[in-house]
Amino acid sequence: MPDSASSASVTSDTDAEPELRRAIGPKLLLFFVVGDILGTGIYALTGKVAGEVGGAAWMSFGLSFVVAMFTATSYVELVGKYPKAAGAALYTQRAFGIHFLTFMVAFAVMCSGLTSAGAAARTFGGDYLTEFVEVPTLLVVVAFLVVLALVNFRGVSESVRLNVVLTCVEVSGLLFIIVIGAIAVLRGVGDPGRSFEFSSDGNPFGLVVSGAALAFFALVGFEDSVNMAEETHNPQRVFPRALFLGISITGVIYMLVAFIATSLVPLDALSASDGPLLEVVRVGAEWLPLAVFSFVALFAVTNSALINMLMASRLVYGMSRERIVPRVLGVVHRTRRTPWAAIVFTSVLAVGLAAWGGVSQLGGTTALLLLCVFTLVNAAVLVLRRDQVEHRHYRAPTVFPVLGIVSCAYLATPWSGRDPQEYAIAGVLLAIGLVLWLATWAGRRWGSASARS
The proportion of the chain whose per-residue pLDDT surpasses 70, expressed as a percent, equals 89
What CATH number is given to the structural domain containing 114?
A: 1.20.1740.10
Q: Which residue has the higher pLDDT, 5 or 35?
A: 35
Residue-wise pLDDT for 71-130, tens only, equals 999 999 998 888 775 578 788 989 999 988 988 998 898 889 889 999 899 889 888 888
Q: Are 56 and 235 in contact (CB under 8 A)?
A: no
- pLDDT of 164 higher than 90: no
Mean local confidence (pLDDT), 228-248: 82
Can you name the residues that pair with 24 across neighbouring β-strands? 232
Length of the chain: 453
At residue 24, φ and ψ (nearest 5 deg) are -110, 120
Mean local confidence (pLDDT), 21-45: 78
Q: Which residues, including other chains, have CB under 8 Å from residue 191's CB and lie 6 or more apart?
A: 263
In this prediction, residue 449 has a pLDDT band, given cuts at 50, 70 and 90, of low
Mean local confidence (pLDDT), 429-453: 74
In this prediction, residue 8 has a pLDDT band, given cuts at 50, 70 and 90, of very low
Please state, in angstroms and as integers, the Cα–Cα distance from residue 234 to each residue in 84, 244, 381, following that order. 12, 17, 21
Q: How far apart (Å, rounded) are the C-alpha atoms in residues 442 and 453?
A: 17
Let me know if residue 79 belongs to a domain: yes
For residue 192, the model assigns a pLDDT of 92
Domain boundaries, position 167: 23-387+394-437
Q: Are 211 and 52 in contact (CB under 8 A)?
A: yes
Let me know if residue 448 belongs to a domain: no
Let me know if residue 145 belongs to a domain: yes
Please state, in angstroms and as integers, the Cα–Cα distance from residue 414 to each residue in 72, 85, 210, 245, following that order. 24, 32, 10, 32
In this prediction, residue 11 has a pLDDT band, given cuts at 50, 70 and 90, of very low
For residue 409, the model assigns a pLDDT of 97
Report residue 453 CA to chain centroid gap. 46
| Weakest-pLDDT range from 174-183, 243-252, 322-331 | 322-331
| Weakest-pLDDT range from 86-90, 395-399, 429-433 | 86-90
3 state DSSP class of 3: coil
Q: Which residues, including other chains, have CB under 8 Å from residue 140's CB and lie 6 or more apart?
A: 121, 124, 125, 129
Q: Which residue has the higher pLDDT, 223 or 246?
A: 246
Let me know if residue 17 belongs to a domain: no
| Weakest-pLDDT range from 21-25, 117-121, 132-136, 437-441 | 21-25
| Weakest-pLDDT range from 91-100, 215-224, 227-236 | 227-236
Let me know if residue 381 belongs to a domain: yes
3 state DSSP class of 45: helix
Residue-wise pLDDT for 272-281, tens only, equals 887 889 999 9
Q: How many domains does the chain have?
A: 1
For residue 384, the model assigns a pLDDT of 94
- pLDDT of 452 higher than 70: no
Residue-wise pLDDT for 263-272, tens only, equals 999 999 998 8
- pLDDT of 10 higher than 50: no
Let me know if residue 451 belongs to a domain: no
Let me know if residue 244 belongs to a domain: yes
For residue 15, the model assigns a pLDDT of 45
Residue-wise pLDDT for 356-386, tens only, equals 877 888 888 999 999 999 999 999 999 999 9
| Weakest-pLDDT range from 6-10, 143-147, 336-340 | 6-10
Q: What is the mean pLDDT of the chain?
A: 84
In this prediction, residue 4 has a pLDDT band, given cuts at 50, 70 and 90, of very low
For residue 140, the model assigns a pLDDT of 93
Let me know if residue 426 belongs to a domain: yes
- pLDDT of 255 higher than 70: yes
- pLDDT of 66 higher than 60: yes
Region of residue 209 (phi > 0: left; psi between -120 and 50: alpha; otherwise: beta): alpha
Mean local confidence (pLDDT), 419-431: 87
